[in-house]
Amino acid sequence: MQNLILYSLSNFIPETILVVTIIVCIIADLIIRKKSFAVTFVAIVGLVLSFVFVVKQWGLSMSIFSGMLAIDNYAVFFKLLFIISTLFILLFVETSKEMKTASHKNEHVYLILSLTTGAYLMASSVNLIMMYISLEMVSLTSYILAGYLKKDKRSTEAAIKYIIYGAASSGIMLYGMTLIYGYTATMNINEIFLYLSKNPITDTPVLLASVIMISAGFGYKISSVPFHFWTPDVYEGAPIPITAFLAVTSSAAGFSVLVRFFLVGFANTEIITAVKWQEVIIVFSIASMIIGNFVAVWQTSLKRLLAYSSIAQSGYILLGLAVVNSAGLFAVILYLSAYLFMNLGAFYVTILIHNKLGTDNMDEMDGLGYRSPFIGVTMAVFMFSLAGIPATVGFIGKFYIFSALINTNSPNLTWLAVVGLLNSVVSLFFYVKVLKHMFLNKPEKPLPELDYGYANILITLLLAVPTILFGLYFTPLLRLAENSIKIFGLN
């Protein structure tokens, strides 16, 4: 027993490093007692160290802590994604004026790191209990972060709304888990799969109900319709760096566990025909795309627009899951990597705009493309990428999602590809609307040019360059994705 724990701990180093970093950050914060980059720096060092050890886990395939967590390439991929996004978010916070108005000093650093730790656990959990606990860990820190500007009414309101929705959906999820446990007498998803594939499935309504209930928990994390109601308000109310963090890390973590839950626990033709979860995912996906895209058209706030765009993007990613084969999963992984760069980029440009204008209302952005050509051009890159125009990484993501849909015959999902692509035409309308404000609309009176520091420009370029580069040459991403999904053994 002791050996097992020691063995598990030796493969738990990346998480341990993060936890230690959190403690060091807290102590440092207590000693320094004022706003300081030192705390952030400690966090960055911790993340980089953790990165090194995560990379070392590449190629391993094992389960630790008696089947609670899995160490595999799939988890490693997500951990890398979380590290990169957390690094960016820490930099975002440093350059955001909004965050400086907070009455707290350095608390955000270790809150962000705790969320990342939770996300790590989500990506590697293979046990329902572990899934629930890690999901709650992510949620709890997100509530605090969403209400970080406690003097700002909207931020506090966002936090409260978030808690209510979060509590309700994780409650529902827990209930769904008990149903599954009642049915299969196990919490481990590998064992659930074994049980379901060996025994004839009799009570399909129970299983279907539990699957839908569990999806409520995951669906709320990835902000998929019909569990999306919190998204626009929280995205709007929370400080923008935090919004970006929720949109990328928290949502990717949701996908990591959702995909693992379904593709490990239920990926078998008989189970799919009996439980019909594929249909459930398809319905969620179509609803997310349609509601996300169509409601986004009417938004005037850039943050709300990006919120609805996130809902729609979740819909596209769910399409990849709905295919239930390796090509679909491949596309999901690819889309999430694309999503990391383009969505963080879009949010960072929003931060930069907010720094100067103090608002994210798009009517105020008329002519912004000329006031700061850099902002205009990079925003164009991110918007076109989100819309899936070629020569950007967003196109690659969509291309693979739709090729997976077209190249499957059981059942024929080509119609779904058509629905998705027509939706992306709608999405183009509102993404281009942002650019329309920046370039085509004339401001009422001439406004001064905006200057941005080198740090801001550098961070933006770190996101914009991969967005284009991976759009033109994406073989590295493909190799990464190919290796990440091998453990699922899908065909």
Cα separations in angstroms, 289 against 162, 317, 376, 404, 474: 22, 10, 27, 17, 25
Question: Nearest Cα to 324, choosing from 253, 266, 397, 395?
Answer: 266
Joined tokens for residue 429? 């309308």
Contact pick of 16, 36, 361, 403 for other proteins (by CB under 8 A)? 403
Contact pick of 418, 455, 458, 461 for other proteins (by CB under 8 A)? 418
**In the bound complex, what is the minimum distance in angstroms from residue 407's beta carbon to other proteins?**
5
State which residue, 410 or 414, has the beta carbon closest to other proteins. Answer: 414
Question: Judged by CB under 8 A, which stretch of 93-101, 209-217, 301-309, 468-476 contacts other proteins?
Answer: 468-476
Contact pick of 213, 402, 456, 460 for other proteins (by CB under 8 A)? 402
Q: Would you give the DSSP letter of residue 361?
A: B
- CA dist 474 and 183 (Å) reads 44
- Phi/psi at 208 (5° precision): -60, -45
- Phi/psi at 64 (5° precision): -125, 170
- Residue 390 lies near other proteins (rule: CB under 8 A): yes
The rounded radius of gyration (Å) of the Cα atoms in the chain is: 22
Joined tokens for residue 23? 């403690």
Helices and strands (H, E) in the chain, number of each type: 23, 2
- Residue 479 has, within 13 A of its CA and on its CB side, a CA count of 5
Query: What length does the chain have?
Result: 491
The interface with other proteins within residues 354-383 (CB under 8 A) comprises: 370, 373, 380
- CA dist 61 and 479 (Å) reads 18
The interface with other proteins within residues 472-491 (CB under 8 A) comprises: 473-475, 478, 482
Question: Nearest Cα to 76, choosing from 489, 491, 483?
Answer: 483
Q: Do residues 423 and 398 lie in contact, with contact meaning Cβ atoms separated by under 8 Å?
A: no
**In the bound complex, what is the minimum distance in angstroms from residue 425's beta carbon to other proteins?**
5
State which residue, 58 or 429, has the beta carbon closest to other proteins. Answer: 429
- Residue 436 lies near other proteins (rule: CB under 8 A): yes
**In the bound complex, what is the minimum distance in angstroms from residue 391's beta carbon to other proteins?**
6
- Phi/psi at 293 (5° precision): -70, -45
**In the bound complex, what is the minimum distance in angstroms from residue 406's beta carbon to other proteins?**
5
Q: Do residues 484 and 77 lie in contact, with contact meaning Cβ atoms separated by under 8 Å?
A: yes
State which residue, 476 or 489, has the beta carbon closest to other proteins. Answer: 476
State which residue, 53 or 429, has the beta carbon closest to other proteins. Answer: 429
- Residue 414 lies near other proteins (rule: CB under 8 A): yes
Contact pick of 406, 447, 462, 465 for other proteins (by CB under 8 A)? 406
The interface with other proteins within residues 249-288 (CB under 8 A) comprises: none
State which residue, 197 or 326, has the beta carbon closest to other proteins. Answer: 326
- CA dist 308 and 314 (Å) reads 10
- Residue 407 lies near other proteins (rule: CB under 8 A): yes
- Residue 97 lies near other proteins (rule: CB under 8 A): no
- Residue 452 lies near other proteins (rule: CB under 8 A): no
- Residue 441 lies near other proteins (rule: CB under 8 A): yes
As a dihedral over the C-alpha atoms of residue 459, residue 464, residue 469, residue 470, rounded to 10 degrees, the angle is 100
- CA dist 476 and 470 (Å) reads 8
State which residue, 108 or 437, has the beta carbon closest to other proteins. Answer: 437
State which residue, 118 or 292, has the beta carbon closest to other proteins. Answer: 292
Contact pick of 421, 462, 465, 469 for other proteins (by CB under 8 A)? 421
**In the bound complex, what is the minimum distance in angstroms from residue 432's beta carbon to other proteins?**
6
- CA dist 88 and 256 (Å) reads 20
Contact pick of 48, 440, 458, 461 for other proteins (by CB under 8 A)? 440
The interface with other proteins within residues 143-162 (CB under 8 A) comprises: none
The count of chain residues that interact with other proteins, using the rule CB under 8 A, is 32
**Residue 207: how many other CB atoms lie within 10 Å:** 23
Q: Return residues touching other proteins (CB under 8 A).
A: 370, 373, 380, 384, 389-391, 395, 399, 402-403, 406-407, 414, 417-418, 421-422, 424-425, 428-429, 432, 436, 439-441, 473-475, 478, 482
